[in-house]
């Protein structure tokens, strides 16, 4: 996940796809919900997988693992004097490393087909070119345990965190130049290519070690979100704020290298994963997972039809969402985000076997005109907002206090529809979607409503091959620390006990039956108000016999 930046927590543009017609259909569906069915798991990328569907859940190493001391996020968040103390301390995570095998029982109880998780680069390679075999062995055993329980692993290679030596947040200026203890990061003219090379070598290592059992890989997670917090605003490690003042000479080169890294990792996996574990004819199905949203042109608290706001909306979407994907789709790079490519990169083209869609919220965008305010996004020159009064209110119950934005399960329909048409022939997977809440019922409502939108778009022929709920359990939500709860399982941070929420029970039943039953849809689905947040500080994890009959 992300939600790293309020300014970036806004988004997407398809905006305004026939909301009236949608509302009408939804109303009817709520009155008389029918059974919605989902087929079994298949290939994420091969033509044979069209029509298949997987139920899954997602997590990431940095957000759950204990004693992950060699990541830049550990250094960034660890209190001084050992660390930089820049934001809430990741600490012991939710003990997701020491409990990795035990937690597979949670996945089994959810009846999911697949688990999307990341391997922590800093754990595998804590010092440059020094590989920790014990860490590789840990992940190997986790993969074996998943497969033994009938759960297909999907591995994310780069999910926001780096080993400290890639771009040391204690020395972002890197005056001495690249060395084994600080490569100086993606934006450095000498270090950038070295980082790309190291990322490709890391991908090669994982493909060699795990390719016999793993076919499903994602190179980068939400690359533009990463670029914004790490290299645009400096809100997360390595803390480089290059958007406003070093756009052309720092930010754009870093972005170019990150896209290079994707292409290099893609090629490394395709070359060194030599086994077809699922028999679909592909040794490796390699994708990238992208943060996407509905972006709405707004002005004075209303939907705007002014051309300048619509242009601002499109400008922001191009910057935040389409630039990287178009680069990979077309093999070219629009270096100034004006919609016209400026560089040719034929080696980038065709480096996507599938595309991950990750949607949480919607965002209002407006044109600041001649008087940019303090919240104006520099260079791109847009104002963005995540909720009323700037964003025309949908139902106020969709506001997410923990994140300051509006939840948008309904956004999956227009967004998936758009991407299905935009990148025709590219299989889509909803690789993350979820809601920060202390209410299990509210989370169950989000989940059912997201699946309703996915089923609807699949019925219209869009090639969406699965849904991974974010997240398996409460975890470290980056700059928010542990205050935002995204877990199907609540985690008691004192005992580290995992407690199933109502959403775990509901999702488990859906995945088991591979249907949304009329009863479940009537209780949780549709487009009406979401159940309210419980009173401050409480949670509503309500263990039910269906899930708590087992011990973890």
Residues contributing to the site for Ca ion (CB under 5 A):
211, 215, 273, 275-278, 280, 282-283, 334, 336, 338, 340, 342
Write out the DSSP string of 322-350: IHHHHHHHHTEE-TT-SSS--EE-TTTTT
| Minimal distance, residue 122 CB to Ca ion, in Å | 24
Closest by Cα among 219, 94, 95, 209 to 144: 209
Instruction: Select 210 or 419, whichever has its Cβ closest to Ca ion.
Output: 210
Closest by Cα among 120, 128, 143, 14 to 67: 120
Tally of helices (H runs) and strands (E runs) in the chain: 16, 20
Instruction: Select 49 or 410, whichever has its Cβ closest to Ca ion.
Output: 49
Instruction: Select 52 or 471, whichever has its Cβ closest to Ca ion.
Output: 52
| Minimal distance, residue 24 CB to Ca ion, in Å | 40
Closest by Cα among 549, 538, 451 to 505: 549
Write out the DSSP string of 419-440: HHHHTTT--EEEEEE----S-H
| Minimal distance, residue 21 CB to Ca ion, in Å | 35
Closest by Cα among 285, 289, 356 to 44: 285
Closest by Cα among 234, 243, 528 to 397: 528
| Minimal distance, residue 529 CB to Ca ion, in Å | 43
- Closest residue to Ca ion, Cβ-based? 215
Positive or negative torsion for Cα 337, 342, 348, 354 = positive
Instruction: Select 247 or 275, whichever has its Cβ closest to Ca ion.
Output: 275
Instruction: Select 165 or 320, whichever has its Cβ closest to Ca ion.
Output: 320
Instruction: Select 194 or 200, whichever has its Cβ closest to Ca ion.
Output: 200
Q: What is the bridge-based pairing of β-strands 354-359 and 428-433?
A: parallel
| Minimal distance, residue 102 CB to Ca ion, in Å | 26
Q: Burial code of 307-316, b = ≥16 C-beta within 10 A, e = fewer?
A: eebbebbbbb
Judge whether 440 and 320 are in contact, CB under 8 Å: no
Instruction: Select 336 or 395, whichever has its Cβ closest to Ca ion.
Output: 336
Round to whole Å and give the CA distance between 190 and 275. Answer: 35
Judge whether 473 and 488 are in contact, CB under 8 Å: yes
| Minimal distance, residue 5 CB to Ca ion, in Å | 24
| Minimal distance, residue 273 CB to Ca ion, in Å | 4
| Minimal distance, residue 44 CB to Ca ion, in Å | 9
Instruction: Select 49 or 236, whichever has its Cβ closest to Ca ion.
Output: 49
């Amino acid at each position: 996940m992300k939600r790293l930046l309020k300014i970036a927590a806004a988004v997407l543009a398809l905006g305004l796809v026939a909301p009236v017609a949608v509302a009408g259909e939804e109303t009817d569906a709520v009155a008389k919900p029918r059974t919605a069915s989902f087929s079994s798991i298949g290939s994420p990328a091969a033509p044979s997988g069209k029509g298949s569907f997987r139920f899954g859940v997602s997590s990431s190493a940095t957000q759950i693992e204990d004693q992950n001391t060699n990541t830049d996020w550990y250094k960034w968040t660890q209190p001084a004097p050992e660390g930089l103390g820049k934001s809430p301390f990741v600490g012991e995570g939710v003990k997701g490393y020491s409990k990795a095998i035990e937690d597979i029982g949670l996945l089994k109880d959810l009846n999911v087909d697949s688990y999307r998780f990341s391997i922590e680069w800093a754990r595998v390679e804590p010092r440059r070119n020094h590989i920790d075999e014990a860490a590789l062995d840990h992940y190997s055993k986790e993969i074996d345990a998943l497969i033994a329980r009938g759960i297909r692993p999907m591995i994310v290679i780069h999910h926001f965190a780096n080993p400290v030596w890639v771009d040391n947040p204690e020395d972002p200026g890197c005056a001495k130049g690249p060395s084994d203890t600080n490569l100086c990061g993606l934006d450095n003219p000498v270090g950038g290519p070295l980082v790309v090379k190291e990322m490709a070598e890391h991908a090669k290592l994982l493909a060699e070690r795990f390719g016999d059992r793993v076919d499903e890989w994602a190179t980068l997670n939400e690359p533009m979100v990463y670029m914004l917090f790490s290299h645009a605003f400096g809100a997360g490690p390595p803390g480089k704020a290059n958007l406003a003042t070093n756009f052309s000479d720092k930010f754009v080169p870093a972005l170019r290298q990150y896209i290079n890294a994707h292409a290099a990792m893609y090629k490394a996996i395709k070359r060194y994963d030599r086994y077809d574990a699922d028999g679909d004819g592909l040794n490796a199905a390699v994708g990238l997972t992208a943060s996407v949203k509905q972006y709405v042109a707004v002005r004075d608290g209303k939907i705007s039809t002014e051309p300048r706001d619509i242009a601002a909306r499109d400008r922001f979407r191009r910057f935040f969402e389409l630039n990287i994907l178009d680069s990979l789709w077309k093999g070219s790079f629009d270096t100034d985000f004006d919609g016209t490519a400026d560089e040719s990169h034929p080696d980038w083209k065709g480096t996507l076997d599938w595309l991950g869609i990750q949607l949480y919220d919607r965002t209002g965008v407006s044109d600041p005109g001649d008087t940019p305010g303090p919240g104006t996004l520099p260079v791109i020159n847009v104002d963005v907002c995540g909720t009323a009064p700037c964003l025309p209110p949908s139902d106020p119950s969709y506001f997410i206090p923990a994140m300051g934005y509006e939840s948008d399960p309904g956004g999956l329909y227009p967004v998936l529809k758009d991407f299905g048409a935009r990148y025709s022939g590219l299989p889509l997977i909803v690789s993350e979607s979820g809601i920060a809440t202390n209410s299990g019922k509210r989370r169950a409502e989000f989940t059912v409503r997201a699946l309703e939108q996915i089923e609807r778009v699949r019925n219209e022929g869009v090639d969406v091959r699965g849904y991974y709920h974010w997240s398996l359990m409460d975890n470290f939500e980056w700059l928010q620390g542990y205050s935002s709860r995204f877990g199907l399982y609540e985690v008691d941070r004192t005992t580290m006990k995992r407690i199933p929420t109502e959403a775990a029970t509901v999702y488990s039943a859906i995945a088991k039956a591979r249907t949304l039953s009329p009863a479940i849809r009537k209780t949780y689905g549709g487009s009406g108000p979401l159940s309210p947040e419980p009173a401050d500080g409480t949670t509503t994890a309500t263990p039910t016999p269906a899930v708590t009959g087992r011990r973890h």
